[in-house]
Amino acid sequence: MDDRDAALMRAHEHATAWLDSLGTRPVPPQATVDDVVAALGTDLPDGPTAAPQVVDLLATACGPGLTAMPSGRFYGMVIGGSHPAALAADWLTSAWDQNSALRTVTPAHTAVEDVTSAWLLDLLGLPASAAVGFVTGATTANFTCLAAARGEVLHRVGWDVRHDGLTGAPHVRVLVGAERHESVDLALSYLGLGAPEVVAVDDQGRIDVPALADALAGAPVPGTPTVVVLQAGNVHSGAFDPFAAAVEVAHRHGAWVHVDGAFGLFAAASPTYRHLVAGYETADSWATDAHKTLNVPYDCGLAIVADPVPLRAAMGMHGDYLIQSDAGDPLDKVPELSRRGRAFPVWAVLRALGRSGVADLVDGFCRHAAAFADGLRGIDGAQVLHDVVFTQVCASFGTDERTRDVVARVLADGTAWMSGSRWHDRAVLRVSVSSWATTDADVRASLGALARASAV
Ligand SMILES: *Cc1c(COP(=O)(O)O)cnc(C)c1O
């Protein structure tokens, strides 16, 4: 066996050993950053080392410092697992090493991207003519969609932002709900649009439509270029903005409507939960992640824009040395030029699950979240702080101090990983169910850990 095959074999063995360990190992890491640095060693060797040995060293040194994020008992932030078909396709993606920027240079990836895009638009109930860009995550997807939005609303008032920049441009208003994800603000900052105007939300974190209507009507100059950002899936409550009414009023004022649905957009793929996004298909752009609800490995986000023209106007580029296609190239839809073949794992998970499998995946997360809420309500002193409508559950254990103590004790217990946060001015425990690997037994074991942590 040559070095290449031996290295790949070793990687395969380490990978399966890691995946096999997920059922029994503690979910939190068992080593600190300093521990792992010490195990790796810090001296850059003067000469070469054989690839299989390098793989062994990496796996051995990193093992204790790995967090069991693909475990069925990881509920922190919003972290999807890795479906086996997507994980295996991701390995192939690295082996194939396709730079997927150009349509005709890498036809296999372009074909898969085209087929996958059509499947996604169908599953999500979005316009079949929309453009889909495969980016690194929802932050970049928000940026990409909002770049198209910025260009288009300025174009409508006769300003070419690509050519003339923002200096001296008409002011662009951006309205967001008070509980939008912080990555929206980051994307706006990348775009030079500054801090958004904040619209009030209700007790679940949903944008208040009359307040949005008032804000829109209060434009300092009528006809001001305006973008409204709505949300499908609040990271604390899981709540969805009332899309039909919000999009209608925003469009009445000529605004571009963008939806941040990093994990919530896939509610649309479930007949049971589709009602949560009713009316969202009339928006102008949507951002989501494939590495959250859809369970492909990091990293993969999707930037979807109903009208491909403003997206291409914002993202397209020309290079004399590039072999570009009249049909448009994948690079026209994303901020990057070179990028990996991100569509391969997305195709694989969709092909493996099928339409009903994607719906079952979403329904399963929601069923487990509801079980968490029920279990938490049965724990003395615990209180679920919102309507549990999707995959997120936030709870308090009384005082902020007690809640923080319970979160710390659950992490120390090691059965499950859940994050603390602050929501509506109080400390909370957050549970996000986002992995295909989570079972009823995982939820029971994790509730057991919560009961132990709060019994102290
Ligand atoms: C996770 C998340 C994001 C950011 O997504 P990344 O993939 O981490 O860039 C944006 N919006 C919402 C609602 C999220 O949950």
Residue to probe by mutation, ligand 1, list 260, 294, 295, most atoms within 8 Å of CB: 260
Question: Domain coordinates of the chain in residue numbers?
Answer: 2-62, 88-348, 356-455
Of 235, 150, 139, the residue nearest 187 (C-alpha): 139
Residues 6+ apart with CB under 8 A from 332: 131, 311, 312, 315, 316, 317
- Output the CA 139–ligand 1 centroid distance in Å: 6
Per-residue pLDDT, 222:
87
Supply the pLDDT for residue 262.
98
Atom of ligand 1 lying closest to residue 235 CA: 15
Question: To which residue do tokens 């890491």 refer?
Answer: 29
CA 314 – CA 304 distance, rounded (Å): 13
Q: Which of 69, 79, 136, 139 to mutate to test the pocket of ligand 1 (most atoms within 8 A of CB)?
A: 139
**How many Å apart are CA 430 and CA 301, to the nearest integer?**
23
- Residue-wise DSSP of 166-191: STTPPPPEEEEETT--HHHHHHHHHT
CA of 260 to the centre of ligand 1 (A): 8
Please choose from 78, 179, 280, 391 the residue to mutate so as to test ligand 1's pocket, defined by most ligand atoms within 8 A of CB. 78
Atom of ligand 1 lying closest to residue 263 CA: 15
- In the reported structure, the alpha carbon of residue 287 is separated from the centroid of ligand 1 by a whole-number distance in angstroms of 9
440 CA to middle of ligand 1, Å?
A: 26
Distance (Å) from CA 289 to ligand 1 centroid:
7
Ligand 1 atom closest to Cα of residue 234: 13
178 C-alpha vs ligand 1 centroid, how far in Å?
16
Query: What is each CA distance from 377 to 135, 199, 237, in whole angstroms?
Result: 39, 32, 16
Instruction: Tell me the CA–centroid distance for residue 185 and ligand 1, in Å.
Output: 12
Residue 153: the pLDDT is 98
For 280-291, b where at least 16 C-beta lie within 10 A, e where not — what string? bbebbbbbbbbb
Expressed in angstroms and rounded, the spacing between residue 4 Cα and the centre of ligand 1 is 36
Tokens representing 151 are 């260009």
Full-model pTM: 0.97
Q: Which residues line ligand 1 (CB under 6 A)?
A: 78, 137-139, 181, 183, 233, 235, 260, 262-263, 289, 301
Q: Whose CA is nearest to atom 15 of ligand 1?
A: 262
Report the alpha-carbon distance of residue 246 to residue 252 in Å, rounded: 10
Position 102 scores a pLDDT of: 94
- The token duo for 325 is 């296609």
Nearest CA to ligand 1 atom 2: 262
The distance between the two most distant Cα atoms of the chain, rounded to a whole number of Å, is 72
Measured by CA distance, the residue closest to atom 14 of ligand 1 is 262
Q: Which CATH number fits domain 88-348: 3.40.50.720, 3.40.640.10, 3.90.950.10, 3.30.200.20?
A: 3.40.640.10
pLDDT at 320: 83
CA of 409 to the centre of ligand 1 (A): 27
Amino acid letter, 376 = L
Return phi, psi of residue 407, to 5°.
-60, -45
Closest by Cα among 177, 176, 178, 158 to 168: 158
pLDDT for position 456:
81
Residue 147 CB burial class (10 angstroms; 0-12, 13-18, ≥19)? buried
- pLDDT for the residue numbered 322: 83
356-455: which CATH architecture? Alpha-Beta Complex (3.90)
Residue 430, phi-psi category: left (phi > 0), alpha (psi -120 to 50), beta (remainder)? beta
pLDDT in tens, the chain (456 residues): 799 999 999 999 999 999 999 999 999 999 999 999 999 999 999 999 999 999 999 999 999 999 999 999 999 999 999 999 999 999 999 999 999 999 999 999 999 999 999 999 999 999 999 999 999 999 999 999 999 999 999 999 999 999 999 999 999 999 999 999 999 999 999 999 999 999 999 999 999 999 999 999 998 888 999 999 999 999 999 999 999 999 999 999 999 999 999 999 999 999 999 999 999 999 999 999 999 999 999 999 999 999 999 999 999 988 888 888 888 899 999 999 999 999 999 999 999 999 999 999 999 999 999 999 999 999 999 999 999 999 999 999 999 999 999 999 999 999 999 989 999 999 999 999 999 999 999 999 999 999 999 998
Ligand 1 atom 12: residue of nearest CA:
262
- Candidate of 79, 201, 235 to mutate for ligand 1, largest count of ligand atoms within 8 Å of Cβ: 235
Query: Which of 277, 289, 296, 299 best tests ligand 1's pocket when mutated (most atoms within 8 Å of CB)?
Result: 289
Q: How far is the CA of 288 from the centre of ligand 1 (A)?
A: 8
Cα 81 to Cα 123: distance, rounded to the nearest angstrom: 20
- pLDDT for res 274: 98
Q: What is the C-alpha end-to-end distance of the chain, expressed in Å? A: 56
